[in-house]
């Protein structure tokens, strides 16, 4: 029978061997955290390796994702579909074992980690989703949602500012089923961290209202006791501070940065094998070690027990059981298309001239009651972003319960966005969160991760241009629209009125594997009259809003500048110049249409002028070398919006002059 040392050393051996074979990777963390992995995965975590998507599994997140071989070794040893060949292909093209854990690539990986700090922040989202789902669905004696979120993290995660944002909220929300293990090894890439990381981490987390424990990270009994103690505290998240030796077992490289991010080398691996008593070849795991780690049978029992519980739940509460299944499978309600059709028709009938941020709120009032998994929030700007709707209640803690469905994240744009990523990956929720467009800058890496992970988050940004006026260039976005549009697998919508706003929200809600950024104005936008065909084509991202026979010029615009394009077309018509107006609320969606549709909207050989209060270079691909752009190639100024638009050339007179010059 394999001993504990054998089980832990199997992790060390696989980490050494895989990194060496790849000639790339981080062996030190897996070797130092082997006993922590053994305690958690071997003795406490509830999962079924045969079904990694079992709804009530415990969630595990490796925030210090550079140590990915720890997770891959654990997945392989416990019985997931991660083979020895997969480990041998560590960090190779299209393998199941990429350099950092990637959700959808590897069975058992819950989120993509690597950018430090975001894993622990995702974990807060996972734990929040669990707590709110349990609140919404559990019944007396029938707790169908009852699992923990476990996260490993290192010094780098704690140094990243986003961990401060998220962990403070976790304590405020009392996420008692969130348990984090800090790998306190004192080493980062530059060496010993005492020169740049001297925080009193336990006191910091106590100040956040966390339960804090400290243990020897190589003592399995102490780790087991700490996990039991952590589970017993249900009104606070727990941080278990684990003092470890990075690269434990390596005679010459342990406790130094030499084993942090580079292979140990053949000679040091041989010396390590001798030092830890591992008398087996590369990638060789004895049968008794596999038997000691295997969780397929116990995992199947856990899931079977839950299935029986859920069957009782479904018998007693059939409607709730069906709704739970729908939400966890990321499906929209059966009547969704009818809801959208009615909402768009209503917006078209009312024909309101209002700010698109208000139009966005109208969309939420139409859609949110029908899609209860929509969970809104704002980074301290609810009254400006208008993300609250008639039926929403501000989230607050009452005792050990969380009440409400609209989250005040405080001034934590990055934390909000990364928490949302965790929530949507957990399942059961479609979070949306908002701030001013300018402050998406604080959160960009979380948006990039959402797109990389193929989530379907909804990011809401208001105050979209110099149109916000007197707050000045610190708050006036210029390059942000183009930055967001350049993120692969990310839809950006900038609607021009109430109908486009309603369609943009519907399109974003319908996405399965693509996040969306919805961009709205502070100032009122004129309602656009359009026919049914044009309304249908809004979904294609760009469409003909106003057409003429044989246009001499095409005016392309988004958001608040569509009104300018329409008025410029009217002025051109008065001079006998035919101008088509194309509204392009989503360039990403338009670009994905077939060539025939795009050619019909933007035919070759016709002069083009693009108009948008953002940087101009982006639009060159649509207007060509002969076309022109009215855009922003400087920062804004502090002044009323009308004065700014005139100063920067967003006038009918300038648009007409530019169009004539292009035609000439």
Per the annotation, binding residues are: 26, 66, 114-116, 155-156, 185, 187, 260, 357, 384, 439, 463, 471, 475, 522
94 secondary structure, DSSP code = T
d(CA 248, CA 276): 9
How are strands ordered across the β-sheet holding 211-216?
59-62, 149-154, 178-184, 238-243, 211-216
DSSP for residue 57: P
Catalytic residue among 35, 160, 303, 413: 413
Q: Which residues contact 3 (CB under 8 A, 6 or more apart)?
A: none
3-state secondary structure of 436: strand
Which residue is associated with the tokens 């040091």?
A: 268
Which residues does the annotation place in the binding site for thiamine diphosphate? 66, 114-116, 156, 185, 260, 439
Cα separation, 385 vs 363, whole angstroms: 13
Tokens of 141: 């004696």
CB atoms within 10 A of CB 136: 17
- The H or E element that residue 238 is part of is strand 238-243
d(CA 303, CA 55): 9
Return d(Cα 36, Cα 66) in angstroms, integer.
Answer: 17
- 612 catalytic residue (yes or no): no
Which ranges in 472-551 belong to alpha helices (H)? 480-485, 498-510, 532-537
First-to-last alpha carbon distance for the chain, in angstroms, is 87
Pairing of β 553-557 and β 543-546: unpaired
Percent helix, strand and coil across the chain, each to the nearest 5: 45, 15, 40
Q: Which residues are annotated as a binding site for substrate?
A: 26, 260, 357, 384, 463, 471, 475, 522
CA distances for 364 relative to 255, 460, 492, 574, 577, angstroms: 54, 12, 18, 40, 41
Residues annotated as catalytic (active site), given as ranges: 413
């Amino acid at each position: 029978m394999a001993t504990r040392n054998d089980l832990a050393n199997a992790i060390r051996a696989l980490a050494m061997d895989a990194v060496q074979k790849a000639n790339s990777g981080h062996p030190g963390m897996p070797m130092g955290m082997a006993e922590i992995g053994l305690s958690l995965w071997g003795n406490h975590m509830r999962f079924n390796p045969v079904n990694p998507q079992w709804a009530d599994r415990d969630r595990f997140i490796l925030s210090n994702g550079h140590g990915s071989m720890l997770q891959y070794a654990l997945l392989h040893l416990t019985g997931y579909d991660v083979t020895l060949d997969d480990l041998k292909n560590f960090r190779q093209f299209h393998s199941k074992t990429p350099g950092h854990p990637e959700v959808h690539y590897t069975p058992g990986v819950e989120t993509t980690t690597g950018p430090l700090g975001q894993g622990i922040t995702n974990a807060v989202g996972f734990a929040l989703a669990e707590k709110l789902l349990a609140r919404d669905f559990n019944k007396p004696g029938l707790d169908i949602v009852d699992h923990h979120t476990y996260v490993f993290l290192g010094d780098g995660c704690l140094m990243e500012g986003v961990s401060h944002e998220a962990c403070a909220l976790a304590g405020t929300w009392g996420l008692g089923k969130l348990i984090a293990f800090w790998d306190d090894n004192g080493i980062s890439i530059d060496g010993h961290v005492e020169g740049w990381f001297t925080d009193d981490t336990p006191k910091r987390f106590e100040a956040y209202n966390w339960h804090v424990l400290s243990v020897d990270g190589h003592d399995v009994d102490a780790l087991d006791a700490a996990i039991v103690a952590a589970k017993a505290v249900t009104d606070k998240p727990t941080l278990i501070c684990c003092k470890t030796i990075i690269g434990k077992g390596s005679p010459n490289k342990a406790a130094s940065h030499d084993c942090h991010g580079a292979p140990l080398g053949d000679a040091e691996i041989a010396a390590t094998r001798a030092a830890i008593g591992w008398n087996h070849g590369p990638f060789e795991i004895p049968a008794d070690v596999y038997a000691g780690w295997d969780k397929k049978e116990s995992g199947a029992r856990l899931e079977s027990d839950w299935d029986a519980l859920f069957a009782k739940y479904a018998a007693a509460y059939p409607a709730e059981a069906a709704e739970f299944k729908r939400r966890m499978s990321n499906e929209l309600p059966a009547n969704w298309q009818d809801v959208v059709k009615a909402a768009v028709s209503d917006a078209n009938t009312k024909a309101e001239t209002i700010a698109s941020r208000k139009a966005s709120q109208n969309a939420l009032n139409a859609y949110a009651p029908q899609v209860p998994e929509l969970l809104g929030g704002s980074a301290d700007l609810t009254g400006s972003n208008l993300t609250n709707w008639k039926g929403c209640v501000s989230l607050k803690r009452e005792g050990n319960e969380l009440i409400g469905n609209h989250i005040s994240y405080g001034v934590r744009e990055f934390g909000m966005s990364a928490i949302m990523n965790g929530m949507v990956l957990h399942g059961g929720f479609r979070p949306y969160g908002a701030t001013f467009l300018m402050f998406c800058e604080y959160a960009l890496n979380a948006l990039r991760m959402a797109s990389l992970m193929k989530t379907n988050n909804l990011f809401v940004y208001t105050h979209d241009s110099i149109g916000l006026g007197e707050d000045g260039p610190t708050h006036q976005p210029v390059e942000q629209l183009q930055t967001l549009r350049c993120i692969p697998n990310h839809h950006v919508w900038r609607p021009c009125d109430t109908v486009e706003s309603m369609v943009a929200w519907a399109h974003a809600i319908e996405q399965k594997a693509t996040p969306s950024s919805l961009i709205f104005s502070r100032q009122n936008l004129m309602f656009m009259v359009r026919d049914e065909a044009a309304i249908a084509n809004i979904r294609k991202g760009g469409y003909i809003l106003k057409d003429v026979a044989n246009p001499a010029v095409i005016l392309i615009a988004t958001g608040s500048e569509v009104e300018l394009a329409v008025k410029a077309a009217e002025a051109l018509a008065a001079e006998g110049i035919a101008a088509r107006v194309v509204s392009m609320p989503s360039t990403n969606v338009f670009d994905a249409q077939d060539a025939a549709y795009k050619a019909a909207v933007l035919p070759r050989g016709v002069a083009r002028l693009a108009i948008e209060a953002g940087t101009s270079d982006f639009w060159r691909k649509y207007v060509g070398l002969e076309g022109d752009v009215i855009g922003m190639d400087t920062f804004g100024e502090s002044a009323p919006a009308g004065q700014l638009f005139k100063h920067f050339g967003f006038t009918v007179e300038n648009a007409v002059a530019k169009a004539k010059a292009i035609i000439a």
